């Protein structure tokens, strides 16, 4: 089980998230509690793990990737909080837990999302007078040059922005109830979900000190799985059950969202997944057995419950 293999890394990520988030007892408590609630509501930490494993591919220490991994998880979590809002997908449950606005109210949920997005960039720009003693930031602050840290901020902000994730989200919203073209479905998948995943690989290469050819190679690998990850999510949405996924099933169908699955059907969706999985693994073969765990994680991403 991949999560057992990676349990030490997941532990480190969770400890570091706890370190970076404001304390529940700090003033003003409500927003701090709301930020923590969503971060610790059962995420699988796939994105942070992708950053750490890609960084390690180049022989770099895991610790170096911790601040970017936490920043990435914060941005992913903020996007879920805002997606779930009544004005957006209007979801009451996520990962088996009540969504932020159901627990804290809409205003606090909006602000908790804003705060997580903002904290991501705070973390990446720290100089760490008081932080330097922490094992969660030590390598990042002492070994990663300012130019590289700027590059990481650039990758993250562009992937999360209007030409990345937010672009995918707005097109997704505008497509509800419409009969949309396959290119639009592909735009949604590659932007709404794919952009951050691609950024994980790219940030890993940049942090690990890979060259331009590595960046090209791992971007291609990421593109293969980036948009497919959403197709798998749609498959789970159809075939899963409430306990396993922890959210209302068939929500996308209820909203009459056009997905790859609803457009091309089950067989074609699974064929796409298999094809893209093989494509990504083939690219990673270049790195020999150093890429073994990364390959396992990708397998978990695309075949989770199957």
Chain contacts with its own copies (rule: CB under 8 A) = 22, 27-28, 30-32, 35, 78, 82, 85, 87-88, 105-108, 110-111, 113-115, 117-119, 121-122, 124-127, 145-147, 149-151, 153-154, 156-158, 160-163, 166-167, 169-171, 173-174
Neighbours of 123 (CB within 10 A): 22
Q: Kindly state the smallest distance separating residue 199's Cβ from its own copies, in Å.
A: 12
Closest C-alpha among 221, 159, 217 to residue 192: 159
- Nearer to its own copies by C-beta: 82 or 247? 82
Q: Kindly state the smallest distance separating residue 44's Cβ from its own copies, in Å.
A: 23
- Nearer to its own copies by C-beta: 122 or 274? 122
- Nearer to its own copies by C-beta: 157 or 262? 157
Distance CA 78, CA 88 (A): 13
Q: Kindly state the smallest distance separating residue 78's Cβ from its own copies, in Å.
A: 8
Q: Kindly state the smallest distance separating residue 127's Cβ from its own copies, in Å.
A: 7
Going by the DSSP 8-state scheme, the letter that residue 212 receives in this structure is: H
- Nearer to its own copies by C-beta: 227 or 269? 227
All residues at 6 or more sequence positions from 87 whose CB lies less than 8 Å from its CB, including other chains: none
Whether 95 and 240 have beta carbons less than 8 Å apart is answered as: no
- Nearer to its own copies by C-beta: 109 or 291? 109
All residues at 6 or more sequence positions from 164 whose CB lies less than 8 Å from its CB, including other chains: 158, 191, 195, 196, 199
- Nearer to its own copies by C-beta: 242 or 254? 254
Whether 78 and 116 have beta carbons less than 8 Å apart is answered as: yes
Q: Kindly state the smallest distance separating residue 294's Cβ from its own copies, in Å.
A: 26
Distance of CA 114 to the CA centre of its chain: 17
Q: Kindly state the smallest distance separating residue 286's Cβ from its own copies, in Å.
A: 27
Neighbours of 72 (CB within 10 A): 30
The torsion region of residue 187 among left (phi > 0), alpha (psi -120 to 50) and beta comes to alpha
- Strand-pairing partners, residue 98, are 93
Question: What SS3 state is found at 86?
Answer: coil
- Nearer to its own copies by C-beta: 78 or 201? 78
Q: Kindly state the smallest distance separating residue 120's Cβ from its own copies, in Å.
A: 8
Question: H helices then E strands: how many in the chain?
Answer: 17, 2
Per-residue tokens: 1: 């089980």
H helices of 161-259, in order, are 165-175, 182-188, 194-208, 212-239, 242-245, 251-254
- Nearer to its own copies by C-beta: 127 or 243? 127
Q: Kindly state the smallest distance separating residue 61's Cβ from its own copies, in Å.
A: 21
């Amino acid at each position: 089980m991949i999560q057992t293999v990676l349990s030490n890394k997941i532990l480190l990520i969770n400890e570091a998230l706890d370190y970076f988030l404001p304390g529940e007892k700090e003033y003003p408590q409500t927003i701090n509690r709301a930020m923590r609630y969503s971060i610790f509501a059962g995420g699988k930490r796939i994105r942070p793990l992708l950053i750490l494993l890609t960084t390690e591919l180049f022989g770099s220490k895991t610790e170096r990737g911790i601040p970017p991994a936490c920043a990435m998880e914060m941005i992913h979590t903020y996007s879920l909080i805002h997606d779930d809002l009544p004005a957006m997908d209007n979801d009451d449950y996520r990962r088996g837990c009540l969504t932020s606005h159901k627990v804290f109210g809409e205003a606090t949920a909006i602000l908790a999302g804003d705060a997580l997005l903002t904290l991501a960039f705070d973390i990446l720009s720290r100089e760490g007078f008081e932080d330097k003693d922490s094992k969660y930031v030590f390598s990042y602050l002492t070994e990663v040059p300012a130019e590289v840290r700027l590059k990481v901020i650039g990758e993250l902000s562009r992937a999360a922005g209007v030409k990345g994730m937010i672009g995918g989200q707005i097109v997704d919203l505008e497509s509800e109830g419409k009969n949309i073209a396959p290119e639009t479905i592909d735009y949604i998948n590659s932007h709404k979900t794919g952009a951050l995943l691609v950024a994980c690989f790219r940030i890993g290469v940049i942090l690990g000190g890979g060259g331009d050819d590595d960046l090209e190679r791992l971007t291609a690998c990421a593109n293969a799985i980036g948009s497919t990850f959403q197709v798998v999510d749609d498959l789970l949405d159809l075939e899963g059950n409430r306990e396993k996924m922890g959210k209302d099933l068939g929500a996308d169908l209820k909203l009459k969202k056009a997905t790859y699955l609803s457009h091309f059907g089950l067989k074609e969706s699974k064929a796409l997944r298999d094809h893209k999985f093989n494509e990504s693994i083939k690219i990673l073969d270049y790195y020999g057995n150093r890429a073994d765990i990364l390959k396992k994680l990708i397998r978990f991403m695309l075949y989770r419950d199957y």
